[in-house]
């Protein structure tokens, strides 16, 4: 049973045109366009936890040219670049390589297999290490990835720590890595660079082939937007100590 089946039926019964995606490809995007003007992009699913409990990062852009560009498949619009599953990692790595002063990362899922050095995740983490070696201040906050296991008494919370390999890889290189607490999920996927660039959206750093998953993220060239997210990050409650391998 699809997790969206009840919502699908509810919308259809009320006369709203609705359709499913191609079952051969997962739609992980979170994108809403209203009146061909307001565009919402970010990490939030339409679930209770995502809308009421999690740490999430989203942006609303009031721009008719941007909305039109997205609707007609144009990925570039002035100071905003729409990133899909095909160009996300290329643009992200380019931005990291050009960083001058700092890189802040707040991320839900980073899957690293150190043996797969040609994977997108490995290449991104290696570029963060290269930036750190050049004197760029790199700070990373990762989610502890807790899940729920059914028991006789109900559901038991289990810390999965899917990001531990990436945390070890970065901390070994001298990068400051922290985890959030297990009391609240950090489902955000955001990178801020040099107080002027912000990259956020649906893309986790995982190694799924682009042909298997649809994603939508954006690169915003705006000091004011970068400042908003820099102000948000300190609100994340962290585990009591920095991660050490």
Catalytic residues: 187, 189, 194
**Element housing 31 (H / E):** strand 31-34
DSSP 139-196: EEEE---EEEEEETTEEEEEE--TTHHHHHHHHHTT-EEEEB-TTS-B--EEEEETTT
The closest of 179, 172, 225, 174 to 198, measured between CA atoms, is 225
DSSP code, position 58: E
DSSP code, position 236: S
The span from the CA of 4 to the CA of 201, in Å, is 20
What is the Cα 143 distance to its own chain's centre?
Answer: 11
The span from the CA of 44 to the CA of 222, in Å, is 22
Q: CB 7: neighbour CB atoms within 10 A?
A: 12
């Amino acid at each position: 049973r699809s997790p969206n089946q009840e919502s699908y039926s509810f919308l259809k019964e009320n006369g709203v045109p609705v359709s499913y995606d191609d079952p051969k490809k997962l739609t992980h995007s979170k994108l809403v366009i209203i009146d061909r003007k307001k565009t919402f992009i970010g990490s939030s699913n339409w679930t209770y936890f995502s809308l009421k409990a999690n740490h999430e990062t989203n942006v609303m852009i009031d721009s008719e040219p941007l909305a039109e560009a997205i609707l007609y498949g144009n990925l570039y619009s002035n100071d905003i670049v729409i990133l899909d599953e095909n160009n996300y990692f290329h643009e992200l790595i380019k931005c990291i390589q050009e960083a001058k002063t700092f890189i802040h990362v707040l991320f839900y899922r980073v899957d690293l297999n150190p043996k797969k050095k040609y994977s997108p995740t490995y290449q991104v983490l290696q570029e963060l290490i290269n930036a750190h070696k050049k004197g760029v201040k790199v700070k990373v906050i990762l989610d502890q990835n807790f899940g729920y296991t059914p028991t006789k008494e109900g559901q038991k919370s289990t810390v999965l720590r899917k990001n531990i390999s990436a945390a070890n890889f970065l901390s070994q290189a001298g990068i400051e890595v922290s985890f959030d607490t297990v009391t609240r999920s950090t489902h955000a996927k955001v990178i801020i660079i040099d107080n002027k660039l912000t990259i956020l959206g649906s893309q986790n750093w995982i190694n799924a082939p682009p042909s298997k998953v649809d994603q939508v993220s954006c690169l915003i060239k705006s000091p004011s937007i970068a400042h908003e997210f820099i102000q948000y990050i300190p609100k994340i409650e962290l585990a009591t100590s920095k991660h050490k391998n």
